[in-house]
């Protein structure tokens, strides 16, 4: 991950291309960076972007080197870092291209605003894995787009295109891929023109105690995920997604 500064805006770039899979280390580094930015008086807003084809293709739940390589022991520390992300004080604009899947969707929802390219796809595909949503998505997604649309995304696992996301309030602006980063920076710069103390104060009021709510929700999500990870349906879900086919689920 790298940090650059453009005027009053900090630009954080995730660089684990091509898929930018979530890891505890990456989330810790990102949380550390946001905390450092909060301590810099000259920085007033953040652009969160990613190198490569995808914004973030989620957590690797399968391979030994992935988050799920240690079973659920790798998941809880991830959520600890997720809560730290939601504790950041300064406004965040995410630039989203390609996939924002699973935990990648959760990461996109950390931001206050999402600028997306036409090829962006937002997916809560947990049920296709025989798994339960995590990263606080069961709290942050309905808060953003309403309970019915959030339930639609979580129970179907369908991909939501950028234009549909714009209509739903999941996306705030659609920009051509070649202009995506510039568009996100323009929005962040528009925010950063304003009084820094007022920005932090207003954002805090609008978001409420979001970090505490996410912490409570991830406790529930972790419990449900722990139960489902031990099922045969989870094993089948992982196989079916890897093989790009519908799962043959049996309910145990």
Does a structural domain hold residue 207?
no
Does 233 map to a domain? no
Q: In this structure, what DSSP letter does residue 44 have?
A: -
State the pairing for strand pair 9-14/2-6.
antiparallel
Closest listed residue to residue 215, CA positions, set 124, 131, 135, 105:
135
In Å, how far are 48, 52, 79, 166, 182 from 175, measured between CA atoms? 15, 17, 31, 11, 9
Asked if residue 110 belongs to a domain, the reply is: yes
Instruction: Output the tens digit of pLDDT for each of the chain's 252 residues.
Output: 999 999 999 999 999 888 899 988 999 999 999 999 999 999 999 999 999 999 999 987 655 555 555 556 667 888 999 999 999 999 999 999 999 999 999 999 999 999 999 999 999 999 999 999 999 999 999 999 999 999 999 999 999 999 999 999 999 999 999 999 999 999 999 999 999 999 999 999 999 999 999 999 999 999 999 999 999 999 999 899 889 899 999 999
Query: Is residue 215, in this structure, part of any structural domain at all?
Result: no
The reply to whether 248 falls in a domain is: no
**Which structural domain range is residue 23 located in?**
2-177
Which residue from 63, 65, 62, 33 is spatially nearest to 49, judged by alpha carbons? 33
Predicted local confidence at residue 67, as pLDDT: 57
Residue 67 lies in a domain: yes
Given this model, what pLDDT does residue 76 score? Answer: 80
Q: What is the structure's pLDDT at 65?
A: 57
**Residue 44 belongs to a domain with what CATH number?**
3.90.226.10
Q: How many domains does the chain divide into?
A: 1
Query: d(Cα 193, Cα 26) in Å, to the nearest integer?
Result: 30
The answer to whether position 36 is within a domain reads yes
Any domain includes 156:
yes
């Amino acid at each position: 991950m790298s940090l650059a500064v453009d005027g009053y805006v900090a630009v954080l770039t995730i660089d684990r291309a091509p898929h930018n899979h979530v890891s505890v280390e990456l989330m810790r580094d990102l949380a550390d960076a946001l905390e450092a930015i909060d301590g810099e008086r000259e920085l007033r807003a953040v652009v969160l972007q990613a190198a490569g084809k995808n914004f973030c293709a989620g957590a690797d739940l399968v391979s030994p080197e992935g988050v799920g390589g240690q079973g659920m022991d790798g998941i809880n520390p991830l959520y600890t870092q997720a809560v730290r992300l939601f504790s950041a004080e300064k406004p965040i604009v995410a630039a989203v291209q390609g996939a924002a899947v699973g935990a990648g969707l959760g990461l996109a929802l950390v931001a206050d605003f999402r600028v997306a390219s036409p090829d962006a796809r937002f997916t809560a595909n947990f049920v296709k894995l025989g798994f339960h949503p995590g990263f606080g998505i069961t709290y942050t997604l309905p808060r953003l787009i309403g309970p019915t649309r959030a339930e639609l995304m979580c129970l179907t696992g369908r991909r939501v295109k950028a234009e549909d996301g714009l209509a739903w309030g999941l996306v705030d602006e659609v920009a051509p891929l070649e202009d995506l980063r510039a568009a996100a920076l323009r929005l962040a710069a528009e925010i950063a023109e304003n009084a820094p103390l007022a920005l932090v104060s207003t954002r805090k009021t609008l978001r409420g105690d979001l970090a505490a709510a996410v912490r409570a929700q991830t406790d529930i999500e972790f419990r449900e995920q722990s139960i489902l990870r031990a099922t045969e349906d989870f094993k089948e879900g992982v196989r079916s997604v890897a093989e790009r086919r519908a799962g043959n689920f049996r309910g145990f």
